[in-house]
Amino acid sequence: MCATCGCTDEPDLAGLGHDHGHEHPHGDGRTVTLQQKILARNDDLAERNRGWLRDRGVLAINLMSSPGSGKTTLLERTSQELAGQLSLSVVEGDQETELDAGRIRAAGSRVVQINTGAGCHLDAAMVGGALRTLDPPAGSAVVIENVGNLVCPALFDLGETARVVLASVTEGTDKPLKYPQMFRRADLVLITKTDLSPYVNFDVARFGEYIGQVSPQAMMISLSAVTGSGMACWYEWLTGMLPGGGWLAVPAAAD
């Protein structure tokens, strides 16, 4: 895998190898052209992933945030509380270790770990290989927990059905304005760690205004994966996105 662009030699869903087809210059006039080629190649593989998922009736969520916003904790609680109701698989992206994959597995969901090394994001080829390994059943959901980063992951389509961006109350109100590319294509924005709201300076109303400026189509839900507050709204959104829609019996603890 390229340390700079995150490219990988992992074969895609069609069994094709990932031919880099580019060099890695730094600081010269070719950089923009090469970035365009990288993204074009990635977009082609993402469409193959999207078609593969669509043909199998599988929902895919690209879950993105800065490090420590609570992605893994959200998935742990979701896996535990919806066990027996929703078949959930996870593609776990980190630069190193399988710590988060172990947490997800212990919570009851199938998981494939992708370690990107120096890479700052997942790409469509990586995800395509993980999807083949998971082989998710029809009517199920796959959540792609991207590498913690508010910049690079926003640029790479993975073939997902929807994008969910987390922003914890500990990160500050201004994140949508500072990182507009990440929030601009979000279908859902989750304000997380609301149990810590009494101890930090976070203005929910102003954050909502900023989201409206950057991404007016995005929904917004406030929740705490520790106390369970707001989790019912997350579950309703998630099940509504499943092929065919439907409603889950939300656990009382999550109300």
Whole-number pLDDT of residue 57: 96
Question: Which segments within the chain are labelled E, that is strand?
Answer: 59-64, 88-94, 110-115, 141-145, 162-168, 188-192, 219-222
Say what percent of the chain tops pLDDT 70.
84
Tokens read off for 144 = 């792609």
Query: Is residue 39 one of the residues assigned to a domain?
Result: yes
Note whether residue 37 is domain-resident: yes
Three-state SS at 26: coil
- Residues with Cβ within 8 Å of 241's Cβ and at least 6 positions away in sequence, in order, are 59, 61, 141, 161, 162
CATH at residue 228: 3.40.50.300
pLDDT (tens digit, 9 = 90+) per residue, 72-102? 999 999 999 999 999 999 999 999 999 999 9
Q: What is the pLDDT of residue 104?
A: 98
Q: What is the pLDDT of residue 37?
A: 83
> Confidence band (pLDDT; 50, 70, 90) for 19?
very low
| Per-residue b or e along 32-54, where b marks 16 or more CB atoms closer than 10 Å to that residue's CB | eebeeebbebbeebbebbbebbe
Two tokens, residue 189: 């924005």
34-38, 152-156, 188-192, 203-207, range with the lowest pLDDT: 34-38
Does the pTM surpass 0.75? The reply is yes
Does any domain span residue 17? no
Mean pLDDT, range 127-131, rounded to an integer = 98
Predicted confidence (pLDDT) at residue 23 exceeds the cutoff of 60: no
The domain total for the chain is 1
Average pLDDT, the chain: 89
Does residue 189 fall inside a structural domain? yes
pLDDT value of residue 250: 59
Q: How high is the pLDDT of residue 16?
A: 46
pLDDT tens digits, residue range 41-72?
Answer: 999 999 999 999 999 999 999 999 999 999 99
- CA dist 242 and 27 (Å) reads 44
- Specify if 139 maps to a domain: yes
Residue 134 located in a structural domain: yes
Evaluate if residue 9 carries a pLDDT over 70.
Answer: no
Q: Is residue 247, in this structure, part of any structural domain at all?
A: no
Does residue 254 belong to any structural domain of this protein?
Answer: no
Domain that holds residue 233: 31-241
Q: Indicate if the pLDDT at residue 254 is higher than 50.
A: no
Residue range 158-185: mean pLDDT, rounded: 98
